[in-house]
C-alpha cells in the first residue's frame, strides 16, 4: 500500500492539481547558484578576494529568496527541492575552497569547529543514501537559521572581524545535521521540505 500524500512536501500532486513546470524562477535561481559556485572557485584561484566576496554575497541571497519565491509563486516541486540541495552543496563547497585558498591563515584555528560541522553533514548524507538512496533535502527551519549564521560568519571572516561567528555557525550547523540524521532514522521513506524532526515523527505516525 503506498504512503499517503505528505502535506508538508511538494513531492506529489493530486489528480486535480496542475503539474508545476520545472522551468520557473526558483529553479533558475538554483541554476545561477550552481553555476556561480564554479565561478567562485575560479575567482579564489585568481586571488580576486573582493569580487569573490561580492559574488558569494549575491549567491547567498539567491539561497535566501528561492524558497520564499517557490511558496509565493506556488512553484514548489520535488525536483526543485533536490536541485536546491545540489546548488547549496556546490555553493558551500566553493565557499570552503575559497576560505582555504584566500583565508587559510584566518581559519587555521577554526578547523576543529569546522571539521565537526563538515563531518556531521557527511554522516547525514551517508545515512540518507544508505536508507533512501538519495541526498537529504529536508530544508528544515534550523537549516534556514544556519544559512543566516553562515552568511554572517562569511562576512565577518572577509571583513577581518571576530572568529566567534564562525564557531557559532559551526555549532548550529552540527546541531542541524544531527536533527537531519534523526529525521532520516525516523522516516520510512524519503521526503523533502520538512520543517523539523517533529514533522518527521508526525509523518511516521500517519503512514
* Span 157-199, pLDDT tens digits: 888 888 899 999 999 999 999 999 999 999 999 998 899 999 9
Distance between CA atoms of 201 and 71, rounded to whole angstroms? 23
State mean pLDDT over 71-82. Answer: 86
DSSP string, 80-140: HHHHHHHHHHHHHHHHHHHHHHH-HHHHGGGHHHHHHHHHHHHHHHHHHHHHHSS--B---
Distance between CA atoms of 1 and 37, rounded to whole angstroms? 42
At residue 15, the pLDDT reads 38
157 burial level (CB within 10 Å; 0-12, 13-18, 19+)? buried
At residue 116, the pLDDT reads 96
At residue 3, the pLDDT reads 42
Distance between CA atoms of 203 and 92, rounded to whole angstroms? 30
Q: Please report, for the chain, how many H helices and E strands are present, in that order.
A: 8, 0
Determine contact, residues 191/8, Cβ cutoff 8 Å.
yes
At residue 28, the pLDDT reads 94
At residue 105, the pLDDT reads 85
User: Which of the residue ranges 1-5, 119-123, 140-144, 150-154 would you say has the lowest mean pLDDT?
Assistant: 1-5
pLDDT tens-digit series, residues 78-102: 888 889 999 999 999 999 999 889 9
At residue 38, the pLDDT reads 97
What are 47's three cell numbers?
586571488
pLDDT tens-digit series, residues 35-69: 999 999 999 999 999 999 999 999 999 988 888 88
- Looking up cell 584566518, which residue turns up? 106
- Looking up cell 571576530, which residue turns up? 162
What are 106's three cell numbers?
584566518
pLDDT tens-digit series, residues 101-131: 998 888 888 889 999 999 999 999 999 999 9
Amino acid at each position: 500500500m503506498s504512503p499517503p500524500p505528505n502535506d508538508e512536501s511538494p513531492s506529489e500532486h493530486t489528480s486535480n492539481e496542475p503539474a508545476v513546470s520545472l522551468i520557473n524562477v526558483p529553479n533558475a535561481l538554483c541554476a545561477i547558484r550552481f553555476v556561480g559556485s564554479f565561478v567562485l572557485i575560479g575567482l579564489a584561484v585568481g586571488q580576486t578576494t573582493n569580487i569573490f566576496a561580492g559574488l558569494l554575497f549575491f549567491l547567498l541571497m539567491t539561497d535566501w529568496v528561492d524558497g520564499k519565491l517557490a511558496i509565493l509563486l506556488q512553484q514548489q516541486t520535488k525536483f526543485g527541492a533536490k536541485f536546491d540541495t545540489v546548488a547549496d552543496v556546490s555553493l558551500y563547497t566553493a565557499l570552503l575552497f575559497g576560505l582555504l585558498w584566500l583565508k587559510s591563515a584566518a581559519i587555521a584555528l577554526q578547523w576543529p569547529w569546522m571539521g565537526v560541522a563538515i563531518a556531521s553533514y557527511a554522516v547525514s548524507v551517508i545515512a540518507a543514501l544508505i536508507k533512501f538512496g538519495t541526498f537529504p533535502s529536508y530544508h528544515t527551519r534550523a537549516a534556514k537559521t544556519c544559512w543566516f549564521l553562515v552568511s554572517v560568519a562569511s562576512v565577518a571572516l572577509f571583513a577581518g572581524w571576530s572568529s566567534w561567528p564562525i564557531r557559532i555557525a559551526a555549532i548550529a550547523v552540527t546541531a542541524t545535521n544531527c536533527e537531519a540524521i534523526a529525521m532520516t532514522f525516523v522516516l520510512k521513506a524519503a521526503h523533502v521540505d520538512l520543517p523539523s524532526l517533529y514533522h518527521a515523527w508526525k509523518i511516521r505516525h500517519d503512514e
